[in-house]
Amino acid sequence: MIQVENLTKKYGAFTAVDDVSFTARSGRVTGFLGPNGAGKSTTMRIMVGLTPTDSGTATIAGRSFADLPNPGLEVGVLLDASAQHAGRTGREILTVAALTMGLPKRRVDEMLDRVSLTPTEAGRRVRNYSLGMRQRLGIATALLGDPEVLILDEPANGLDPAGIRWMRDLLRGYADQGGTVLLSSHLLHEIEVIADDLVVIGQGRIVADGTKAELLASAGTLVRTRVVDDLATALTASGLNPVLSGATGGSDVLRVDADPEVVGKVAHEAGIPLVELRAADGAGLEEMFLELTSDTQREGNS
Ligand code: ADP
């Protein structure tokens, strides 16, 4: 388990990480989501002792990273896939890491196999690797010591859709065996397919934190009908607050802050025929994320 409590990091007058607290639980994949510049990498660097914090603590299984005797056996870290010695081959990089951790050499082949790097690819120098291959090598390095915790910064960067699926399956299996996975991304959809829990950060602050199911469910219901005025009246009379959110082909869509079952019941009791009724999965999260992104871009443009 990873526990982050009240982390704050300032660069001069600028607060990159602002009183950040969250927990990544074992057996779960926790997605750390935020636009570029939100403070994800800084938080992760603090967790693994690469950046000093101004205040707050980060612990891995109850201990700070600096107190772990052989960190590679406890926590696998991938912060920057390109930060490898470009003149070494993938196999050499893994071999050096295995020696450092006191692991048998056969672990190297096991890991190459696990991340689907062929012997030929493993024999090439890393400077000739694609970003996707570097990510695979970085994940292999992180997994080498069979740690209980993985901290991965933007591991899906440079992976194609098949690669993202491969990584999702790998991390899923790892969490299902009790591992703790924290991975960051600046892309909502990328993380949505991988994570069980989400921690959303914007401008250094945590803006949402919960299970993916909770965060996606909070968006309410979308209901489509050809008699939108009647439905809006019936919903309002039931104490709900419908909002018009679109129209196509003679029917209109209302968004309602309630479960589909509640909305369906109101429509049924008022005798209103519906064209479509569904949970507005992710719409709330997506809107929140777009707002965060546009705030950041506004700042960047000013
Ligand atoms: P993310 O990983 O979410 O893209 P970062 O943690 O890399 O965000 O950066 C958060 C903010 O802190 C950014 O505005 C970045 O420019 C700033 N920052 C990061 N590292 C430094 C540094 N060493 N010196 C000054 N500012 C920094």
Give the whole-angstrom CA distance, residue 91 versus residue 122.
5
pLDDT for 188 equals 86
Q: How many CB atoms lie within 10 A of CB 248?
A: 9
Å from CA of 65 to ligand 1 middle: 21
230: nearest Cα among 250, 210, 200, 254: 254
Q: How many CB atoms lie within 10 A of CB 82?
A: 14
Ligand 1 pocket, residue 16 CB under 6 Å: yes
Q: Are 6 and 13 in contact (CB under 8 A)?
A: no
Domains of the chain, CATH where assigned? 2-210 (3.40.50.300), 218-296 (3.30.70)
User: Strand pairing of 55-60 and 75-78?
Assistant: unpaired
26: nearest Cα among 155, 199, 147: 147
Give the whole-angstrom CA distance, residue 42 versus residue 15.
11
pLDDT for 298 equals 43
pLDDT for 157 equals 86
pLDDT in tens, 237-270: 999 989 887 777 788 999 898 889 999 999 999 9
**Ligand 1 atom with least separation from CA of 9:** 12
pLDDT for 218 equals 63
Atom 24, ligand 1: residue with shortest CA distance: 11
Q: What is the CA radius of gyration of the chain?
A: 23
pLDDT in tens, 84-105: 778 899 999 999 999 999 999 9
Atom 15, ligand 1: residue with shortest CA distance: 37
Ligand 1 pocket, residue 44 CB under 6 Å: no
Give me the residue label for tokens 């939100």: 38
Q: Which residues contact 110 (CB under 8 A, 6 or more apart)?
A: none
pLDDT for 285 equals 75
Give the whole-angstrom CA distance, residue 50 versus residue 77.
11
DSSP H or E stretch at residue 282: none
Question: Which stretches of the chain score pLDDT less than 50?
Answer: 298-302
Atom 22, ligand 1: residue with shortest CA distance: 11
Q: Are 184 and 33 in contact (CB under 8 A)?
A: yes
Taking the C-alpha atoms of 11, 19, 168 and 176 in order, what is their torsion angle to the nearest 10 degrees?
140
pLDDT for 300 equals 43
